[in-house]
Amino acid sequence: MNLEPSAWRRRTQSSKAVATSASASVWWYVTVCIALGGLLVESQGLQAIPPRLYVKNLSKNVNLLCKSDKPIEDCSVKIPGYLQWSTADDSGLPSGIGPYGDGWSKGECGVRLMVVKSANEGKFFCNVTVGGQVFQESIDITLTVTPEPTEIEIGKDTEISKGGYRENQTLTARCISQDGVPMS
Protein backbone atom coordinates (compact mmCIF):
# COMPACT_ATOMS: atom_id res chain seq x y z
CA MET A 1 0.00 0.00 0.00
CA ASN A 2 1.57 3.21 -1.16
CA LEU A 3 0.20 6.26 0.66
CA GLU A 4 1.04 9.92 0.42
CA PRO A 5 2.43 11.36 3.70
CA SER A 6 -0.81 13.26 4.48
CA ALA A 7 -2.95 10.18 3.81
CA TRP A 8 -0.59 8.08 5.93
CA ARG A 9 -0.90 10.59 8.81
CA ARG A 10 -4.73 10.53 8.61
CA ARG A 11 -4.72 6.72 8.65
CA THR A 12 -2.29 6.61 11.61
CA GLN A 13 -4.29 9.21 13.56
CA SER A 14 -7.49 7.32 12.80
CA SER A 15 -5.90 4.07 14.07
CA LYS A 16 -4.73 5.83 17.24
CA ALA A 17 -8.24 7.20 17.84
CA VAL A 18 -9.74 3.72 17.44
CA ALA A 19 -7.09 2.24 19.76
CA THR A 20 -7.64 5.00 22.32
CA SER A 21 -11.40 4.60 22.08
CA ALA A 22 -11.13 0.81 22.45
CA SER A 23 -8.70 1.19 25.34
CA ALA A 24 -11.03 3.63 27.12
CA SER A 25 -14.01 1.33 26.73
CA VAL A 26 -11.98 -1.64 28.01
CA TRP A 27 -10.95 0.36 31.08
CA TRP A 28 -14.53 1.49 31.60
CA TYR A 29 -15.69 -2.15 31.37
CA VAL A 30 -12.99 -3.31 33.82
CA THR A 31 -13.89 -0.52 36.26
CA VAL A 32 -17.59 -1.42 36.13
CA CYS A 33 -16.80 -5.13 36.66
CA ILE A 34 -14.61 -4.36 39.67
CA ALA A 35 -17.28 -2.10 41.17
CA LEU A 36 -20.03 -4.66 40.62
CA GLY A 37 -17.82 -7.46 41.93
CA GLY A 38 -17.25 -5.44 45.08
CA LEU A 39 -20.99 -4.94 45.42
CA LEU A 40 -21.61 -8.66 45.00
CA VAL A 41 -19.16 -9.51 47.77
CA GLU A 42 -20.50 -6.66 49.91
CA SER A 43 -24.09 -7.76 49.27
CA GLN A 44 -23.54 -10.73 51.56
CA GLY A 45 -23.72 -7.96 54.16
CA LEU A 46 -22.21 -9.94 57.02
CA GLN A 47 -21.80 -7.79 60.09
CA ALA A 48 -21.09 -8.36 63.75
CA ILE A 49 -23.45 -6.75 66.24
CA PRO A 50 -21.89 -5.16 68.19
CA PRO A 51 -18.40 -5.08 66.59
CA ARG A 52 -16.82 -4.21 69.96
CA LEU A 53 -18.34 -5.01 73.34
CA TYR A 54 -17.38 -3.65 76.76
CA VAL A 55 -18.96 -5.71 79.51
CA LYS A 56 -18.55 -6.12 83.27
CA ASN A 57 -17.38 -9.41 84.72
CA LEU A 58 -20.33 -11.65 85.67
CA SER A 59 -22.76 -9.72 83.45
CA LYS A 60 -25.81 -11.76 82.49
CA ASN A 61 -27.51 -12.44 79.14
CA VAL A 62 -24.94 -10.86 76.82
CA ASN A 63 -25.86 -11.23 73.14
CA LEU A 64 -23.38 -11.69 70.28
CA LEU A 65 -24.87 -11.66 66.78
CA CYS A 66 -23.64 -12.15 63.23
CA LYS A 67 -26.12 -10.92 60.66
CA SER A 68 -26.34 -11.38 56.89
CA ASP A 69 -28.78 -9.84 54.44
CA LYS A 70 -29.33 -13.35 53.00
CA PRO A 71 -30.33 -16.67 54.60
CA ILE A 72 -27.53 -18.51 56.38
CA GLU A 73 -26.94 -22.15 55.45
CA ASP A 74 -24.54 -22.98 58.29
CA CYS A 75 -23.03 -21.16 61.24
CA SER A 76 -20.31 -22.04 63.71
CA VAL A 77 -18.92 -19.89 66.51
CA LYS A 78 -15.69 -19.71 68.51
CA ILE A 79 -16.30 -18.22 71.93
CA PRO A 80 -13.36 -16.94 74.01
CA GLY A 81 -12.72 -19.30 76.90
CA TYR A 82 -13.77 -22.39 74.94
CA LEU A 83 -11.25 -24.46 72.99
CA GLN A 84 -13.28 -25.49 69.97
CA TRP A 85 -15.73 -24.19 67.42
CA SER A 86 -19.39 -24.97 68.09
CA THR A 87 -22.37 -25.15 65.78
CA ALA A 88 -24.57 -22.21 66.75
CA ASP A 89 -27.74 -24.13 67.52
CA ASP A 90 -29.18 -25.66 70.70
CA SER A 91 -27.36 -28.98 70.36
CA GLY A 92 -23.84 -27.74 69.64
CA LEU A 93 -23.36 -25.04 72.27
CA PRO A 94 -21.57 -25.44 75.61
CA SER A 95 -23.47 -25.24 78.88
CA GLY A 96 -24.34 -21.65 79.84
CA ILE A 97 -24.57 -20.51 76.23
CA GLY A 98 -27.75 -20.46 74.16
CA PRO A 99 -28.67 -19.51 70.62
CA TYR A 100 -29.65 -15.92 69.89
CA GLY A 101 -31.24 -14.15 66.93
CA ASP A 102 -34.18 -14.57 64.58
CA GLY A 103 -32.75 -17.71 62.99
CA TRP A 104 -30.55 -18.70 60.09
CA SER A 105 -33.38 -18.42 57.56
CA LYS A 106 -33.59 -14.70 58.42
CA GLY A 107 -29.82 -14.24 58.17
CA GLU A 108 -29.11 -14.19 61.91
CA CYS A 109 -26.72 -16.41 63.82
CA GLY A 110 -25.80 -15.56 67.37
CA VAL A 111 -25.32 -16.73 70.92
CA ARG A 112 -26.32 -15.50 74.35
CA LEU A 113 -23.78 -15.83 77.15
CA MET A 114 -25.83 -16.47 80.28
CA VAL A 115 -22.94 -15.16 82.46
CA VAL A 116 -19.78 -13.48 81.17
CA LYS A 117 -16.61 -14.59 82.93
CA SER A 118 -13.06 -13.27 82.68
CA ALA A 119 -12.22 -16.25 80.43
CA ASN A 120 -14.67 -14.87 77.84
CA GLU A 121 -12.55 -11.79 77.20
CA GLY A 122 -11.08 -11.88 73.70
CA LYS A 123 -12.30 -12.25 70.15
CA PHE A 124 -15.59 -14.01 69.34
CA PHE A 125 -15.70 -15.44 65.81
CA CYS A 126 -18.58 -16.61 63.67
CA ASN A 127 -18.22 -18.48 60.39
CA VAL A 128 -21.35 -18.40 58.27
CA THR A 129 -22.08 -20.07 54.97
CA VAL A 130 -24.16 -17.93 52.62
CA GLY A 131 -24.73 -18.92 49.01
CA GLY A 132 -22.18 -21.72 49.30
CA GLN A 133 -19.42 -19.34 50.43
CA VAL A 134 -17.98 -19.11 53.95
CA PHE A 135 -17.60 -15.67 55.54
CA GLN A 136 -16.10 -14.80 58.92
CA GLU A 137 -16.85 -11.91 61.25
CA SER A 138 -15.70 -11.16 64.79
CA ILE A 139 -16.61 -9.24 67.94
CA ASP A 140 -13.98 -7.96 70.38
CA ILE A 141 -15.07 -8.63 73.96
CA THR A 142 -13.38 -6.48 76.61
CA LEU A 143 -14.13 -6.73 80.32
CA THR A 144 -14.58 -3.34 81.92
CA VAL A 145 -12.82 -2.44 85.13
CA THR A 146 -14.24 0.21 87.41
CA PRO A 147 -11.67 2.98 87.85
CA GLU A 148 -10.22 4.02 91.17
CA PRO A 149 -12.17 6.85 92.82
CA THR A 150 -11.90 10.01 90.75
CA GLU A 151 -9.80 12.90 92.06
CA ILE A 152 -10.35 16.53 91.13
CA GLU A 153 -7.41 18.92 91.42
CA ILE A 154 -8.04 22.67 91.41
CA GLY A 155 -5.36 24.67 89.60
CA LYS A 156 -2.91 26.81 91.63
CA ASP A 157 -4.02 29.96 89.79
CA THR A 158 -7.59 29.59 91.08
CA GLU A 159 -8.30 31.66 94.20
CA ILE A 160 -10.63 30.36 96.86
CA SER A 161 -12.12 32.94 99.20
CA LYS A 162 -14.82 32.57 101.84
CA GLY A 163 -15.31 28.88 100.93
CA GLY A 164 -15.92 29.61 97.26
CA TYR A 165 -14.56 31.07 94.06
CA ARG A 166 -14.55 34.68 92.95
CA GLU A 167 -17.21 35.73 90.47
CA ASN A 168 -16.02 35.84 86.82
CA GLN A 169 -12.86 33.94 87.73
CA THR A 170 -11.50 31.27 85.42
CA LEU A 171 -11.57 27.93 87.19
CA THR A 172 -8.80 25.52 86.24
CA ALA A 173 -9.40 21.92 87.28
CA ARG A 174 -8.07 18.49 86.37
CA CYS A 175 -9.96 15.21 86.71
CA ILE A 176 -7.84 12.12 87.45
CA SER A 177 -9.27 8.63 86.99
CA GLN A 178 -6.93 5.64 87.06
CA ASP A 179 -7.04 1.95 86.19
CA GLY A 180 -10.32 1.99 84.28
CA VAL A 181 -11.05 -0.17 81.24
CA PRO A 182 -12.01 1.29 78.87
CA MET A 183 -9.97 4.35 79.81
CA SER A 184 -12.11 6.98 81.50
Tally of domains within the chain: 3
Pair 53, 139 in one domain: yes
Pair 72, 135 in one domain: yes
Domain holding 165, by residue range, is 146-184
Q: Could you tell me the CA-to-CA distances from 43 to 64, 135, 177 in Å, in that order?
A: 21, 12, 44
Last residue of a domain, which of 27, 43, 59? 43
Pair 118, 77 in one domain: yes
Q: How much is the pLDDT for 123?
A: 96
Last residue of a domain, which of 25, 43, 61? 43
Pair 125, 54 in one domain: yes
Pair 163, 118 in one domain: no
Q: How much is the pLDDT for 39?
A: 35
Pair 54, 128 in one domain: yes
Q: How much is the pLDDT for 154?
A: 83
pTM above 0.75, yes or no: no
CATH number, domain of 60, equals: 2.60.40.10
Q: How much is the pLDDT for 73?
A: 95
Q: How much is the pLDDT for 111?
A: 95
Pair 67, 129 in one domain: yes
- DSSP, res 57: T
Q: How much is the pLDDT for 21?
A: 47
| Distance between CA atoms of residues 147 and 180, nearest Å | 4
Pair 51, 83 in one domain: yes
Pair 132, 93 in one domain: yes
Pair 51, 140 in one domain: yes
Print pLDDT tens along the chain (184 aa): 555 555 545 555 554 544 444 454 544 444 433 433 433 344 358 999 999 999 998 999 999 999 999 999 999 999 999 988 888 777 788 889 999 999 999 999 999 999 999 999 999 999 999 999 999 999 999 999 877 777 888 888 887 777 787 788 888 888 887 777 777 5
Residues 124-143: b if buried by 16+ CB within 10 A, e if exposed: bbbbbbbeeeebebbbebeb
Pair 62, 92 in one domain: yes
Pair 5, 22 in one domain: yes
Residues recorded for the chain: 184
| Distance between CA atoms of residues 145 and 151, nearest Å | 17
Q: How much is the pLDDT for 28?
A: 42
